[in-house]
Amino acid sequence: MRIEFNHKGVLVTGAGTGIGREIALEFARSGADVVFHYNRSPDGAISGAREARALGVCAEALSADFSQLDEVLALADQAAKFLGRVDILINNAGITFNKPFLQTEPAQFEKLYQVNVRAGYTLTQQVIPGMLEAGGGAICNLTSIHGLQGMIEHSLYAGTKGAIIAYTRSLAMEFAHRNIRINAIAPGWITVDNYRQAIPGFDRAEATKAAFDTIPAARDGLPLDVARLAVFLCSDYASYIIGQTIVIDGGTTALMSLAPDFRTPLSAHFGRQYL
């Protein structure tokens, strides 16, 4: 299956590093013109745009602080001006955070919901009118398995990810009949640079072993895994997929939490009396 976007305009937020950068590059590999949005560090987005242009597409890196509403609005205008119009929007930008519930502060609550929920919601509001005028489009929102399963010290972060899942579903119902498809992706363990920054003494070999031991797929995920899914969901091949949150986690959420080692046969034999 070869997906070709033929210079459709794609805006990918949070495309300076990790998953967002790889999503933007995968769209460029599929022939789309791409805007790489970044917030703090421009290097990854600028180099990504350079790689994309080497593939024969138009690409640019644009900055916006997603905690500032005026910068979100400006990004929508700048991206539409550069691309001609935004045919595809990937709401990937977000910040992660963990802290015990009783220690969480109001300013942290405000910041996470501003960046993870309000920014993408507002950006979508700015982009959809152009899609309607063009006759359609596609939107993909990045959430997380934290929005589906519980993890200690993640109540605030998980709340933002659950909100994305809920509003994706409702928004999709509003625009499906107008040829705008909206879906979400919920990644599990995807190893990105943030792991090295957040985990003291992060060791790639140890992480690989931990993933082998705990994830049914026997490996951690790669940004490219998510990028390929995002490209598929925004292509005509996925034209009947609407309002869904697609989990990409190597089987993590499919595994029952009470299960023993999934590589070892069960010692218990339930229902033997029926045989």
Which residues of the chain form beta strands (DSSP E)? 9-12, 33-38, 59-63, 88-91, 137-142, 180-187, 245-248
* CA separation for the pair 22, 223 (Å, rounded): 6
Strand partners of residue 246: 185
- Cα–Cα distance measured from residue 176 to residue 94, given in angstroms and rounded to the nearest whole number: 25
User: And the tokens for 32?
Assistant: 């789309």
β-strand partners of 37: 62
157 a catalytic residue: yes
Catalytic entry in 38, 121, 157, 274 = 157
Joined tokens for residue 247: 């989990």
Residue 243 and residue 139 in contact, taking contact as beta carbons nearer than 8 Å: no
Catalytically annotated residues: 157
